[in-house]
Amino acid sequence: MIFAKQAMLSTGWAQNVRLTVNSGVITAVDADQTSQPGDVIVDTLLPALANLHSHSFQRAMAGMTEYRMAGKDSFWTWRDLMYRFTAHLTPEHIEAIAAFVFLEMQEAGYASVGEFHYIHHQPGGTPYDDLGELSSRIAAAAAITGIGLTHLPVLYTYGGAGQVALEPGQARFGNSVDRFNELVACAQRAVSKLPADCRVGIAPHSLRATSPDDLAAVLRAHPAGPTHIHIAEQPKEVADISAWLGARPVEWLLDNVDVTNDWCLIHATHMTTGETRDMARSGAVAGLCPITEANLGDGPFNGPAYLEAGGAFGIGSDSNVLISLTEELRTLEYSQRLRDVARNVMVVGEGSVGEVLYTGAARGGAQALGRASGEIAVGQLADLVAIDSADPALCALPTHQLLDGLVFAAKDRIVTDVWSAGRHAVKGGRHVQRDQIVDGYRSAMQSLMASL
Ligand code: ZN
């Protein structure tokens, strides 16, 4: 039982709420109650967000790519550095880094993660004896942290648009469609040992890393979803796909594939207004990663047209250069304000920006990960976050402005408790396995840095 002085329910704010959770699912929600002995008592309870897009290993290179080199740095030079880094990662490193990253996500207020997982093989490209070795490592990191995992093994077959051969730096990612299907089966076995809310989807990496025929084949083999794809992060990607397939990436995908609400289009950054409206109408979730998109110089999302057309969106931490839920949300809004020279952009008509961002990302993130969560109601997974409304950042705000305070004025330390499908992973602002996981991460980084 959880008792909250106030809670944002699917029906709106309520006071003195008692929540019953059974097997990870909310089975009763009662307002205007008094707390009972044994209740976990919190201040303000919200539905916890899903982090819909992560490459956990990239956390380990945060801060290593911010040095300006001769010539103009770009996304593509960043990618070369990232490839060189991945050559040194062992399965033990990958597990320790993922566990630390998942811990940081939970302490920031996320209950679940979509791990878009593309390192599959040994350096040089030879598969491990167990094809699913590294998927098992991600599953082990989910097990120790208790995070709700949607594991997304990545199909990565080609080095660039037009079925170009993989570069040496991409050898650890590569699979044919047949071997990818075997890999997904391995991943499903690994994830089946986790709690029942965890699941496996698929992620064709991008249009440039697959081909139309291969994409059709994997979608036939895995019709259930969720299906995630990087779609239009960089202008060069749009130009390359246009030159090869005769249409811009979002335009081509919507015209040639049955994109439904099981889909999540990551970095739907470079879209025409027509693509933006068509994507919104498809029901797919726009997977926005505002901190990473700013860090990599990708560009701002076309938010106003997308919201106007009723599009679903969620938030991901992608490169994990910084894991902060509050900063992801405000960076999304600030990217819009800076482009439009305007205030309060991510709202249709009138309303609270914080509420639109938070509740929209809660619903869209859950949809993208295939989780029955995103709001507090009977039958939903207990993906919950408690924040402290008495924190100086929020103490002057009435309830209806709390989400604006959370998004624009607060830091992640405002989070006191997080439950992932009822697993109480963060208590008093600290992950319950923090010491062990941080020690493991420090040792892994020491070993990794010695190998560089
Ligand atoms: Zn990504």
Task: Please report, in angstroms and rounded to a whole number, the separation of the first and last CA atoms in the chain.
Answer: 49
Does residue 228 contact residue 368 with C-beta atoms inside 8 Å? yes
Dist. CA 167–CA 97, nearest whole Å: 25
In the reported structure, the alpha carbon of residue 8 is separated from the centroid of ligand 1 by a whole-number distance in angstroms of 31
Dist. CA 270–CA 288, nearest whole Å: 12
- Residue 173's pLDDT is 96
In the reported structure, the alpha carbon of residue 259 is separated from the centroid of ligand 1 by a whole-number distance in angstroms of 19
In the reported structure, the alpha carbon of residue 227 is separated from the centroid of ligand 1 by a whole-number distance in angstroms of 14
Continuous segment of H or E residues that includes residue 96:
helix 91-108
Does residue 110 contact residue 49 with C-beta atoms inside 8 Å? yes
In the reported structure, the alpha carbon of residue 370 is separated from the centroid of ligand 1 by a whole-number distance in angstroms of 18
In the reported structure, the alpha carbon of residue 284 is separated from the centroid of ligand 1 by a whole-number distance in angstroms of 17
Please state the separation of Cα 348 from the chain's center in Å. 24
Dist. CA 190–CA 39, nearest whole Å: 34
In the reported structure, the alpha carbon of residue 234 is separated from the centroid of ligand 1 by a whole-number distance in angstroms of 12
Helix axis angle for 91-108 and 434-451, nearest 10°, is 140
pTM value surpassing 0.95:
yes
Indicate which residue of 318, 388, 391, 404 is catalytic.
318
In the reported structure, the alpha carbon of residue 268 is separated from the centroid of ligand 1 by a whole-number distance in angstroms of 11
Q: Which residues of 95-130 are buried (b: 16+ CB within 10 A; e: fewer)?
A: bbbbbbbbbbbbbbbbbbbbbbbbbbbbeeeebeee
Dist. CA 443–CA 370, nearest whole Å: 34
Query: What residues does 29 pair with on adjacent strands?
Result: 19
What CATH class is the domain 3-447?
alpha beta
Does residue 194 contact residue 143 with C-beta atoms inside 8 Å? yes
Dist. CA 382–CA 13, nearest whole Å: 17
In the reported structure, the alpha carbon of residue 230 is separated from the centroid of ligand 1 by a whole-number distance in angstroms of 6
- Residue 66's pLDDT is 81
Which of 52, 53, 98, 59 has its CA nearest to residue 82? 59
- Residue 69's pLDDT is 74
Q: Phi then psi for 32, rounded to 5 degrees?
A: 55, 45
Helix axis angle for 212-221 and 177-191, nearest 10°, is 30
In the reported structure, the alpha carbon of residue 304 is separated from the centroid of ligand 1 by a whole-number distance in angstroms of 23
In the reported structure, the alpha carbon of residue 289 is separated from the centroid of ligand 1 by a whole-number distance in angstroms of 8
| Sequence-separated (6 or more) residues with CB below 8 Å from residue 66 | none
Q: How is the chain split into domains, by residue range?
A: 3-447
Q: Phi then psi for 221, rounded to 5 degrees?
A: -75, -25
In the reported structure, the alpha carbon of residue 314 is separated from the centroid of ligand 1 by a whole-number distance in angstroms of 14
- Residue 449's pLDDT is 87
318 tagged catalytic: yes
Ion ligand 1, residues whose Cβ is below 5 A away: 318
Mean pLDDT by 10 residues, the chain (452 residues): 97 98 98 97 98 96 80 76 87 98 98 98 96 98 98 97 94 97 98 98 97 98 96 94 97 98 96 97 98 93 97 98 97 97 97 98 98 98 98 96 98 97 98 98 93 82
298 tagged catalytic: no
Indicate which residue of 267, 270, 417, 431 is catalytic.
267
In the reported structure, the alpha carbon of residue 301 is separated from the centroid of ligand 1 by a whole-number distance in angstroms of 15
Does residue 7 contact residue 44 with C-beta atoms inside 8 Å? yes
- Residue 325's pLDDT is 97
- Looking only at the bridges linking them, the beta strands covering 430-431 and 423-427 are antiparallel
In the reported structure, the alpha carbon of residue 55 is separated from the centroid of ligand 1 by a whole-number distance in angstroms of 6
- Looking only at the bridges linking them, the beta strands covering 423-427 and 415-420 are antiparallel
- Residue 68's pLDDT is 79
Helix axis angle for 249-256 and 273-282, nearest 10°, is 40
Dist. CA 96–CA 445, nearest whole Å: 9
| Sequence-separated (6 or more) residues with CB below 8 Å from residue 178 | none
- Residue 79's pLDDT is 83
